[in-house]
Each structure stands twice: as structure tokens, then as C-alpha cells.
Amino acid sequence: MKPANGKPGTSMENKTGNWRSERPEVDQSKCIKCGQCQLNCPDGCIFVTEKGAEPNYDYCKGCGICANVCPVKCIKMVPEEK
Amino acid sequence: MVKPELENKELFKSGHTACAGCGVAVGLRHIMRALGKDTIVVNATGCTEIFTSAYPKSAWAVPYIHCVFENSAPVAAGISEALRAMGNDHTKVVVISGDGASYDIGFGHMSGMFERGHDVLYICYDNEAYMNTGVQRSGATPWKAHTTTSQVGKQIRGKMQFKKPLTEIVAAHNVPYVATSTSAHYADLQQKVQKAKEIKGPSFLNVLMTCVPGWGTTPSLSMQYLKDAVDTHVWPLMEIENGFSKLSMKPEKKPVEAYLKGQKRFRHLTEEDIAEIQEMIDERWDHWVWKEKVDQERKAGLEASE
């Protein structure tokens, strides 16, 4: 049997995105690409790309820190609906 | 399929099971970014252990060892001595322990490690109670704060004792580098971690981090509370290098209400309590400003006489 014991970085298999009740939505036209959201995200799941900030919804728990620290307030928290 | 630019390439990975808005997870990302790949992490029991290494997965992309509550400092000391015996002079051994493990349970062992002078960086993430087991008071819990073992009633209103001054206690061990930071001041935190990493010998960082369920705060405001903690002088950012203290930031003072309001653990405070806390904080801040002045004058004097 293959030993399952903690290989480095295997937590990436946990898709914590399903914890979320609100999701961050970015208005990329207003984004100034300062990187505050990327730095302050506890889950390391929002990134500044060429277009602007972009969240990775696989891991985002919807805490809203990114929306709070954004200096131009281009991130909005939107309720998740199923 | 995830886009390559949305992939986490850091040493502290996504998918850990911390609460939404966890201040500790933010701090660990900054710490790992500053430390780099050539690191061995020793982690005492606590929230970090629970949310990063839920069997069989691990959020660490560096060698990681978990040990019991009191043992992190001796384990790290052993690893650093083994590395020295093997002729490895580049890998840094880092202890990451919570306030329960540093202020209370592992205190004696930590003190011993500093006294023996092993080449270990000890980082205490201080979230001011035993959060992992459901918010019990620790030596780090501030005065009057509510926890499940310092309840608020008619006679007793929150924790009856004061917070242990761990930073000063460690500095009194003649540790070459002692500093405080928070996970919201990422530039400050990363600079201090890098500085401590370069030191051959023991070094200590005391980092304030929010706990959403323990402090009773809104997840989105995690970073705001830490900024307020510094701006209200509740948590002064400082460095004590070879015994000479220096404040890293002297923010214009905000009234302490800015920090206390909104935290459920402080919601029972009366106006008199807040006035008393304000008085205590002002006294502590004046002490640090005075101490910085004396220390820096002494340092300049010593440098001039050399």
C-alpha cells in the first residue's frame, strides 16, 4: 500500500471553495493591480494577472479580506446562490 | 482545469483548513515567503498544526515536523545541532508556536533553548488564547478579555490578570534579536523574519495575529483589527537588537476604543474599564519611547568610544 503520510503541499487537494457563502467579484476595469488582495489573502487564492485581480474559486472561503483591504474598492462580495 | 497564473506557487499552500479570515494563515504566508525553501519548520501543537497538517495532507512545501505542546524548542535545538554536526551551515531551523505553547506550556523549554544559544529562529504567533481547543485563557490573554475560562459575570468580569510581557522576558535572556510584528504589517514582518534568518544564534519574533472565532470579529476585518492594534499602541512594533530597543513604527495615537469595539471578547467593557485600559497603554507606550531614547543614546555613546 502506498504511504499516504503528508507529502509536501498535498493540501492543494482540499478544495475549500465549497465553504463559501459569499464570493468576491472583481471589477477589473477599476483594478490598479497593487497586489494588496494577493498579499492579504489567508488562502493564497487571489492573484494579480495581466487583466487585474482574479480569484481562484477552488480555494476561496469567502472571508472578504480582499474586498476590505482593496484601496480602490473594486472587489465586491456577492452572496452565493444555488 | 485551473489557469497557470491562478496557481499557488508559494511554500505555504492553499487548501489548508483554517477558518475564513484567519489572521494566522496570512501571517504564515508572509513568514514562509521571507524564509524561503532552505528551511525546516518545527511546529508545536496548536491551530497551525491542526489546519495545515490534517492527515494525510500537508500545506507545507518545506520539511515540517510536529511535536507535542512543550517540545518545539528542544526539537528545533536538536535539529540545528544535528545540522551543525553534518556541516550544514545554511539550512535555517524555525519554530512556529502559538501563544499557549510559548507563553505557558513550552515556556521553560523555550527559555532553555535561548540560554543555550542554539541557532534557531523562534516565532510565536500570538492570538491571545488557546483557540484550537475552543478559546481558553492563556498567559497571553489581555486583561478583562472574555474566554470560556475567564467568564463575565457580576463579580468577575473577564480575565483578572494581565498579559505576560513575553517579548521583554525573552530579551532578558540576552537573545541577539527580538522583535514584535503583526500579520497585517507584511513589509515589517518579512523584513524582521529576513533579519532574524541571517543571525547565527537564537532569535525571537512575537507576532500578533487575529482569531476570528476567539476574538469574535468579522472575518473581513481581520487585518483592520491588527492595524488598529498598532495604531492605538496596544501592540507596539519594535526590535530589540543586542539589548538596544527601537520602535519600528511610531503611529499617531488613536483612542483604544477603535481597537476594542466590535470584538465580542471585549463587549462587556464599561467606560471606566476602557479609561483604565487607555491609561495602562499610555504608560506602556511612554515606557517604550523612553527606553528607546535611553538605549539609542547608550548605543551611540558606545559606538563613539570604539
What is the predicted ipTM?
0.92
CATH code for the domain defined by A16-79: 3.30.70.20
Residues in B touching A65 (Cβ below 8 Å): 21, 26, 219-220, 222-223
**Mean of the per-residue pLDDT values of chain B:** 94
CATH code where residue B62 lies: 3.40.50.970
Predicted local confidence at residue A13, as pLDDT: 87
- Distance in angstroms (rounded) separating the CA atoms of residues B15 and B17: 6
pLDDT digits (tens, 9 = 90+) for B148-166: 999 999 999 999 999 999 9
The grid coordinates of residue B279 equal 491609561
Q: What is the pTM of this model?
A: 0.94
Region A61-78 average pLDDT: 95
Are B26 and A68 in contact by the 8 Å Cβ rule? The answer is: no
Of B160, B223, B13, the C-alpha closest to A43 is: B13
Preceding peptide of B56 cis, ω within 30°: yes
Instruction: Work out how many domains chain B is built from and give that number.
Output: 1
pLDDT digits (tens, 9 = 90+) for B120-143: 999 999 999 999 999 999 999 999
Q: DSSP letter string over A7-57? A: BTTGGGG--GGGG-SEEEEE-TTT-----HHHHH-TTS-EEE-SSSEEE-T
Helix, strand, or coil here: B298? helix
Helix, strand, or coil here: B277? helix
CA distances from B111 to B40, B73, B120 (A): 21, 9, 12
Q: Tell me which residue in A10, A16, A56 faces B6 most closely, judged by beta carbons.
A: A56
Instruction: List the domain range (segments joined by +) for residue B274.
Output: 4-305
Tell whether B13 is within 8 A of chain A (Cβ): yes
